[in-house]
Structure 1
Amino acid sequence: MKSKKNKTLIPIPTLLIILTGIVGATVLTPTLIKLLEGVIVTTEPVEYRLDAPSEVLLLADVSPVDRQTALEAIANQEKPSLDRNRARFLLASDILRGDFDGAKALNYLKNLEKEYPILAPYILLRQGRAYELTNDTEKAQEIWLKLVTEFPEDLVSAEAYYKLGTYDQNYWQEAIKRFPQYPRTHEIVRTLLKKEPNQKDLLLLLATYDLSPQTKGDLDTLVKQFGKELTPQQWDIIGQNYWQNNHFLQASQAYIKGTSTPEHLYRIARGYQVSKKPTEAKSFYLKLVNEFPDAPDTGLALRRLATMTQGDEALSFLNRVDKRFLEEAPKALNQKATILTALGRFPEATQVRNQLLQEFPNSEEAANYRWQVAQEFARANNLVSAWQWAQQISVNNPDSDVAPKAGFWVGKWAEKLGQPEEAQKAFQFVLDKHPHSYYAWRSAVRLGKDVGDFTTIRSLPLKVETPVARSIPPAGSNMFKELFLLGENQEAIDLFRGEIGNKPEVTVSEQFIQGLIQQIQGKNLQGINTIWSLKNRRDNPEDYQEWRILRNSPEYWYGLFPFHYEDLIVKWSTERKLNPFLVVSLIRQESRFEKEIKSPVGATGLMQIMPDTGKWIAPQIGIKEYSLTDPNDNIKMGTWYLNHTHETYNGNSLLAVASYNAGPGNVANWLKRYSLDDFDEFVENIPFPETKGYIETVFGNYWNYVELYDPQIQERIEN
């Protein structure tokens, strides 16, 4: 947005003194004075910088009551500044949402749109609301008309049209016409549909632009009432909306009536497949293969067909996945090897795996095969060969998911072979190349870093320090970024959604912001998974490069490992003498911070406590009434139980966490079967893949939380 100059009238007495000194006049006539009353000078608004140091931004997530005094002190400063503008904007916003004192809000908003142009439209929007609260509705409408006149292209104008429409609904049509992608427009549309449900054009607008889950009912109405009138292109739109919100069967049925493209045929088939309709799925996969033999989607379709058939028929589909489909070919070879092994055709399986290594040495499938072979050699105590195969992963597949584990075990095997220098190199490689992995922590332990081992985590002196201000989002307009940094969540979210519109695919940075927004909305599981799933975009070189840049920033990791419920976690961890980073790590794994989540077997809340376990814990901590979906009750009881498991195993966090997942009976059995002399080998020996993965995930979480939220950990790593 271009800065607008702020026109400021100079007081007449001051101007008279200035001019008297300039022209040497001793007398100014009334005529001259009258002329001077129209004289203006211009001053530039305060310089705006997103990254400027700010006391106000530190208060973005503080409650209005708790931040009021600090904001007032900044807002009342005499010297103009960006922080003064921000403080006035936030104070007015808090007032309009709180005690609804329009006159008081206007005091902070007066002329603010000139001094704070980055948010000028939102300031005008608030001015109108403030006048409305003082019952001066004519002035309110005048301000909102000014907004849409001066900022006709800004999405926030839809908010002004909405407000104007509460007095004259003709303005709502202008919002629908000009800003169909904006969430407030969708609210207008739904209000109109409540009065008259069967309006095809409005239903199509929602199908096209509102990709949120709540559109499902509107899509169903559109299909039911107007299905015979819809064009193939409109069916495409409906299919896309159903697909994006995981209504796969309805998406398939819509795409059938749409345009025939490789992507649509694949989605029809896949939608039927996940909806347990294999006959229909196979039919459309074959149609895709026959009509579009060279399309990128065809390679994946052939692999899907292989999973729906057996033996030689499955192999025949996989044999057609050749180098035309570079993304699918290594996966197809891996599938072929698995099928051939199951059929007992071992030489052929070996031949296919060798082909995988030769033709696609850098693939994830090649890395997994190398690790499989390395493990087989290790189990046979042939550590030299195990080392050699695992070492190839570091060379050929350094970004593979299995690379940190392979690198760590290269170090462990080197230790056993009496080569400490090689072991140190391997551990340092993992720590440097894969610093956020579980095996980076295990490598740091092997390197002698003071970062805590399984037996010392509980007593390790750590301090939780969360970021004091939000980070600048990596995408979106500066207006959105400013609203986000200020903590004006709903307006920031609506603006970003409007800016994204109905793009079929967002960028990596935009998807990252979507994950942050979902967490702001309390959709923590969805938000964390949205960010985590960015790794799945590695097949696209541009996306992969953007993801690599993003994941080198601390903002990415804060989004992936948030510290929700910090106060409660620190409080009850301190009470139980537990490491708060271990507690938050367990919560992240158990529930993704979803306070009301329930597992299929009934485990409930943040720390996934079984109802019977809750009944057993309650009398031991002296509570009669509790709710497992209440964060305080859940963390209070969950930390008690985690403390109980620690006491059971003499403070060994490995066994305590394993018991939390698999139960004390299984842990007792494993302790009888496996030695605890080497913790890493004990973990590898655990026969439950779920528990083994659980341990690696929880302590991998722990390592990331320590790195992010303990300011001293980096010193311990470097020393």
Structure 2
Amino acid sequence: MRRRLGNWMPWIGLSGATALGLGATLALVDAAGWLPNPSGLSDPAADVESATVMGAPADSLVWSLALQSPETRAESLQAIAAQPVSEEQVRARYLLAQDLIDQGRGGAAVPLLETLPEDFPELAVHSRIQLGKAQKASGDTETANTTWQTVLQQHGEHPASGEALYQLGQQEPQQWDQLLQKFPAHPRSVEVAHKRLVETAQPPDEKGLLLIMTRHGIYHPDVLTFVDLLVEKYGDQLTPEEWQDVGFAYWERQAYKSAGNAYSQAPASPQVLYRAARGSQIGEQRAAAIAGYYRLDAEFPEASETALGLIRLSYLVDKETALQILDQVVERFPERAAEALAEQAAIMASLDSPDTAAQLRERILAEYSGSEEAAKLRSQYAHNAGDAGNWSAAIQWADQLLAENADDELAPELGFWAAKWALQSGDESGATQRLEQVIRDYPESYFAWRAASTLGWEVGDFQTVRSLQPDIALPTQRQPLPAGSDKLQELYLLGQDKDAWTLWQVEFENAQDPSVTEQFTDGVLRVGVGDNLDGMFMISSLDWRDAPDEQAQQAEVQQHPAYWQTLYPFPYSGLIAKWSAERQLNPLLVTALMRQESRFEPQIRSVVGAAGLMQVMPDTADWIRSKSDITAANLDDPNDNINLGTWYLDYTHEEYSNHSLYAVASYNAGPGNVADWIARGGYVDDDDFADKIPFPETKNYIRAVFGGYWNYLRLYNPAIARQVERLQQSDPK
């Protein structure tokens, strides 16, 4: 099994109860100066001449300016736009015109755009669309409509022309009919479908509008309302293929019971039948789930989904039947055999057959040494030996895991603990080598931070990290994405995330079964438009691919700069800088905590009501206001939420003398619980305390927040990035 990246546990509010790009956000430059000019240019205009050569530049100055704020880049863009026509000049004109339109100065953008369709053929259709918007903004609606008619005449088959149909349709409703017919996946079609469904009691072609929402509006916050309506009113008219679309929409929005019911009426495939059974299982429809898993096995006996389905089935039947089903998995699916043996061992232990259970576990180690289950056993045995003070045995088990299960998620943890055990045994040289190995081989892990801290790197430890103010250097330019048309690539490189994402909605035709590169591109573009929750999940879940060819592709896209930059973006950097400075908090620590709490979604709610970016409970907000001079009241407002959240994080630090391990744990589980854990004792140091936290969600939370802090450091702090790189280049392997 592949090593799982990151921690995607549901998030926790201040009460401790469970709740859940780079993009344009990276261009945000805060007034406090925390984030520098992303281009790194002291005088960008001075480089205009060298940048304006025909032919695609390897390093486009305009592409680097695209990562700056409109205010910061305006002078440089104006200077480049004044040059003779070149690839750089037309890019500068396009970007400058877009900035002017966004600033409500459409009239000033018209001269920049009038000949741009001819000068910039790569974005001719988009240039004409922007020209129409600039003309409309300047009050010349008639000319704007003429421009959009030209778009339809010259680019009518291109998906981007959907914007022209939308604009014209505001006066001519039949244009919207054309939009829905020609480009149903276009976000403007979803907007029109939603508008008609909401504003008309029973619009013509209601079923068609509902299908557009179901198929193409999965990102819409109200999509399940319309999927439910489609099923309720037109369920008896849906084709099997339409039921599959319904099932996919429910599955993506985590309505698993409804997804299972829908998939049971879709065309049979391994994925469809597995999801039908799994949805029934999650929905506590035991009989339907059992029948579904048996059907999956009967119709697709060799599919990988069948192996997982049989393991799921073993949870639903009596123990004797379960053992027989798991025997089938061992016999027929070698890639799942270790998991099946581990389940059998657990059953035998529950049946008071410890010897048989032990034999099954030994078989896992002997026959499936590289499996995830073998890694779990080695980890358990290593910790048992370490707890007993048998350092040599603990290290031996850890070394076995690192040799046999190097890609497992437990490897960095065992590498770090092996170093701790080496220190315990007096082997300082061996400990250093092991700590360096953790950083070198698992640089994205929480334990890489613990290793770097132990080695004395300037990354802070649990008792000093609060006060650090790390230097940050942002990327200077994006790189093309591995999927998407040339027009999409140009829009993305120019920082036009909304337009790139809009075009992708039509180009991305394989959403239900994407390739690795499509899923990666989709995740990057989602984060670019602020869909951080789903976008970051799309990127991180690439690590779940099990097929060897997909794992190779995943390893390749992981080398793309946008991979890590999308997982660790900088939304709300100005507000984070402001309130971190006010509270004397490390801004990267605040960023990492916010990332874990909300994935930077400002209006998200937990199941218990924790709200916003820092998941503040309303009762906690009231308590903070009673203890301070804060009057902030709107938890959906980023400024108010970060104000309250950083005050509380400062408070938890003060409660524990600026000990950030206890402070961050308190933010998650509450000060009372943390105080009880401290008073209970039984731990030898901070790492031991963190490992022995009795709440699994808080233990994972600690690793996620401090691991996130470390990733922001290793990605964006030049000194730490160089240290990691030097260590990796010195790899003796």
TM-score class, shorter: 0.7 to 0.9
Which residue in 1 is equivalent to 2:78?
Answer: 72
Q: Secondary structure at the match of 1:712?
A: helix
Q: Tell me the CA shift for residue 159 of structure 1.
A: 2.9
Q: Tell me the CA shift for residue 569 of structure 1.
A: 1.7
Alpha-carbon distance between aligned partners in 1 of 2:265 and 2:626, rounded to the nearest angstrom: 61
Matched-pair contact (CA < 8 Å) for 1:374–1:389: yes
2:403 to 392, 395, 404: 395
1:120 to 118, 124, 130: 124
The reply on whether 1:509 has 2:517 as its aligned counterpart is: yes
The reply on whether 1:417 has 2:425 as its aligned counterpart is: yes
Amino acid across the alignment from 1:106:
V
CA separation of 1:675 and 1:572: change in aligned 2, threshold 3 A: farther
CA separation of 1:84 and 1:308: change in aligned 2, threshold 3 A: same
Q: State the Cα RMSD in Å.
A: 3.2
2:96 to 91, 94, 112: 91
The reply on whether 1:584 has 2:591 as its aligned counterpart is: yes
Amino acid across the alignment from 2:538:
T
Q: Tell me the CA shift for residue 547 of structure 1.
A: 1.8
Alpha-carbon distance between aligned partners in 2 of 1:510 and 1:609, rounded to the nearest angstrom: 35
The reply on whether 1:551 has 2:562 as its aligned counterpart is: no
CA separation of 1:225 and 1:684: change in aligned 2, threshold 3 A: closer
Alpha-carbon distance between aligned partners in 2 of 1:297 and 1:691, rounded to the nearest angstrom: 32
Alpha-carbon distance between aligned partners in 1 of 2:607 and 2:500, rounded to the nearest angstrom: 36
- Structure scoring higher RCO (CA < 8 A, sep ≥ 6) equals 2
Which residue in 1 is equivalent to 2:12?
Answer: none
The reply on whether 1:300 has 2:308 as its aligned counterpart is: yes
Q: Tell me the CA shift for residue 702 of structure 1.
A: 1.5
Task: Give the count of matched residue pairs.
Answer: 671
Q: Secondary structure at the match of 1:595?
A: coil
The reply on whether 1:689 has 2:696 as its aligned counterpart is: yes
Question: Unmatched 5+ residue regions in structure 2?
Answer: 1-51, 728-733
Alpha-carbon distance between aligned partners in 1 of 2:304 and 2:719, rounded to the nearest angstrom: 49
Q: Tell me the CA shift for residue 711 of structure 1.
A: 1.9
Which residue in 2 is equivalent to 1:155?
Answer: 159
Alpha-carbon distance between aligned partners in 1 of 2:241 and 2:631, rounded to the nearest angstrom: 60
Alpha-carbon distance between aligned partners in 2 of 1:656 and 1:439, rounded to the nearest angstrom: 19
Which residue in 1 is equivalent to 2:650?
Answer: 643
Q: Tell me the CA shift for residue 371 of structure 1.
A: 0.5
Alpha-carbon distance between aligned partners in 2 of 1:364 and 1:670, rounded to the nearest angstrom: 31
- Note the 1:671-710 alignment, pairs <5 A: 671-674=678-681, 678-710=685-717
Matched-pair contact (CA < 8 Å) for 1:106–1:127: yes
Amino acid across the alignment from 2:129:
L
CA separation of 1:137 and 1:571: change in aligned 2, threshold 3 A: closer
Report the structure number with the largest CA radius of gyration: 1
Which residue in 1 is equivalent to 2:115?
Answer: 111
Matched-pair contact (CA < 8 Å) for 1:210–1:502: no
Alpha-carbon distance between aligned partners in 2 of 1:220 and 1:686, rounded to the nearest angstrom: 42
Matched-pair contact (CA < 8 Å) for 1:182–1:501: no
Q: Secondary structure at the match of 1:626?
A: coil
Q: Secondary structure at the match of 1:458?
A: helix
2:661 to 646, 654, 679: 654
Alpha-carbon distance between aligned partners in 2 of 1:362 and 1:665, rounded to the nearest angstrom: 42
Which residue in 2 is equivalent to 1:478?
Answer: 486
Which residue in 2 is equivalent to 1:22?
Answer: none
CA separation of 1:601 and 1:243: change in aligned 2, threshold 3 A: closer
Q: Secondary structure at the match of 1:260?
A: coil
String of CA shifts for 1:5-60, please: whole Å, max 9, x gaps. xxxxxxxxxxxxxxxxxxxxxxxxxxxxxxxxxxxxxxxx9735375331464245
Q: Tell me the CA shift for residue 710 of structure 1.
A: 1.8
Matched-pair contact (CA < 8 Å) for 1:377–1:385: yes
Matched-pair contact (CA < 8 Å) for 1:50–1:482: no
Alpha-carbon distance between aligned partners in 1 of 2:543 and 2:678, rounded to the nearest angstrom: 36
Q: Secondary structure at the match of 2:159?
A: coil
CA separation of 1:114 and 1:350: change in aligned 2, threshold 3 A: same
Residue identity over aligned pairs, in percent, reads: 41
Q: Secondary structure at the match of 2:329?
A: coil
Matched-pair contact (CA < 8 Å) for 1:181–1:501: no
CA separation of 1:222 and 1:709: change in aligned 2, threshold 3 A: same
Matched-pair contact (CA < 8 Å) for 2:498–2:528: no
CA separation of 1:603 and 1:326: change in aligned 2, threshold 3 A: same
Matched-pair contact (CA < 8 Å) for 1:209–1:501: no
Alpha-carbon distance between aligned partners in 1 of 2:172 and 2:579, rounded to the nearest angstrom: 55
- Note the 1:306-705 alignment, pairs <5 A: 306-467=314-475, 469-537=477-545, 539-674=546-681, 678-705=685-712
String of CA shifts for 1:336-355, please: whole Å, max 9, x gaps. 11222222211111121122
CA separation of 1:466 and 1:338: change in aligned 2, threshold 3 A: same
Which residue in 2 is equivalent to 1:24?
Answer: none
CA separation of 1:417 and 1:623: change in aligned 2, threshold 3 A: closer
Alpha-carbon distance between aligned partners in 2 of 1:576 and 1:110, rounded to the nearest angstrom: 50
Q: Tell me the CA shift for residue 625 of structure 1.
A: 4.8
Alpha-carbon distance between aligned partners in 2 of 1:610 and 1:167, rounded to the nearest angstrom: 46
Q: Tell me the CA shift for residue 219 of structure 1.
A: 4.4
TM-score by length of 2: 0.83
Matched-pair contact (CA < 8 Å) for 1:125–1:143: yes
1:198 to 202, 205, 218: 205
Alpha-carbon distance between aligned partners in 1 of 2:484 and 2:170, rounded to the nearest angstrom: 30
Alpha-carbon distance between aligned partners in 2 of 1:159 and 1:685, rounded to the nearest angstrom: 56
Higher mean alpha-carbon deviation, 134-143 vs 691-700, is at 134-143
Q: Tell me the CA shift for residue 243 of structure 1.
A: 3.5
Matched-pair contact (CA < 8 Å) for 2:371–2:405: yes
Alpha-carbon distance between aligned partners in 2 of 1:234 and 1:660, rounded to the nearest angstrom: 45
CA separation of 1:111 and 1:706: change in aligned 2, threshold 3 A: same
Which residue in 2 is equivalent to 1:81?
Answer: 86
Q: Tell me the CA shift for residue 567 of structure 1.
A: 1.5
Matched-pair contact (CA < 8 Å) for 2:576–2:642: yes
Amino acid across the alignment from 2:377:
Y
CA separation of 1:295 and 1:462: change in aligned 2, threshold 3 A: closer
Matched-pair contact (CA < 8 Å) for 1:209–1:502: no
Amino acid across the alignment from 1:371:
S
Matched-pair contact (CA < 8 Å) for 1:460–1:579: yes
Matched-pair contact (CA < 8 Å) for 2:62–2:494: no
Matched-pair contact (CA < 8 Å) for 1:118–1:479: yes
Q: Secondary structure at the match of 1:661?
A: helix
Which residue in 2 is equivalent to 1:41?
Answer: none
Q: Tell me the CA shift for residue 88 of structure 1.
A: 1.8
Q: Secondary structure at the match of 2:689?
A: helix
Higher mean alpha-carbon deviation, 552-561 vs 151-160, is at 151-160
Matched-pair contact (CA < 8 Å) for 1:586–1:607: yes
Q: Tell me the CA shift for residue 526 of structure 1.
A: 3.0
Higher mean alpha-carbon deviation, 517-526 vs 173-182, is at 173-182
Alpha-carbon distance between aligned partners in 2 of 1:55 and 1:259, rounded to the nearest angstrom: 49
Alpha-carbon distance between aligned partners in 2 of 1:418 and 1:707, rounded to the nearest angstrom: 30
2:59 to 30, 44, 52: 52
CA separation of 1:189 and 1:636: change in aligned 2, threshold 3 A: closer
Amino acid across the alignment from 1:549:
E
Alpha-carbon distance between aligned partners in 1 of 2:719 and 2:76, rounded to the nearest angstrom: 30
Q: Secondary structure at the match of 1:328?
A: helix
Q: Tell me the CA shift for residue 230 of structure 1.
A: 4.2
Q: Tell me the CA shift for residue 437 of structure 1.
A: 0.9
